[in-house]
Structure 1
Amino acid sequence: MAAGRGALREGCITHSDRGAEYTSCEYRSAIEELGIRQSVGRTGSCCDNAAAESFFGLLKAKIGTTVWESHD
């Protein structure tokens, strides 16, 4: 989706778990064609992505249910 929107820069990193869709030859080929790097978490290590999960959890808790009066 990011590639389709033109939001990727060459050399950026995509991070995922070791799911079959992210380790497939087709996905790896697409990553290579886009000129980006692939990063995958270690098997059985929930700590690899802990900082990002913590940040987004806090973000959702703070603004996810807030109803704003305006876009400003």
Structure 2
Amino acid sequence: HHRAELVVDALKMAAGRGALKEGCIAHSDRGSEYTSGEYRSLIRELKLRQSMGRTGSCYDNAAAESFFGLLKAEIGTTVWES
């Protein structure tokens, strides 16, 4: 499920909506989708700054990991009507 296409499309969508400013930091883990040439090229094209957490360090993004862990625990696989 780790495809560069998904994150590249999401980044293009955000850029198309004016949600990204030059110099904005794009922080991620070291997943293959974020280290792909396609993603890195788009980061350069959009004049963003790429930042990655350290390998094997869960503390780099602890707040976000905690939030999404709680979110998954609360809603699980709930399917919404809308």
TM over 0.5: yes
Between the two proteins, what is the percent identity of the paired residues? 82
> Structure 1 regions of 5+ residues with no counterpart?
60-64, 66-72
Count residues with an aligned counterpart: 62
Secondary structure in 2 aligned to 1:28?
A: helix
Query: Which aligned pairs between 1:45-56 and structure 2 lie closer than 5 A?
Result: 45-54=57-66
In structure 2, do the counterparts of structure 1 residues 19 and 57 end up closer, same or farther at CA, with 3 Å as the change threshold?
Answer: closer
Q: Find 1:41's aligned residue among 39, 42, 53.
A: 53
Tell me the TM-score normalized by structure 2. 0.62
Aligned to 2:50, the other structure's residue is in SS state strand
Structure in which a larger fraction of residues adopt helix: 2
Compute the TM-score of the two structures, normalised by the length of structure 1.
Answer: 0.69
Instruction: Please give the alpha-carbon distance, in whole angstroms, between the structure 1 residues aligned to 2:69 and 2:22.
Output: 29
What is the RMSD computed on CA atoms of the aligned residues? 2.1
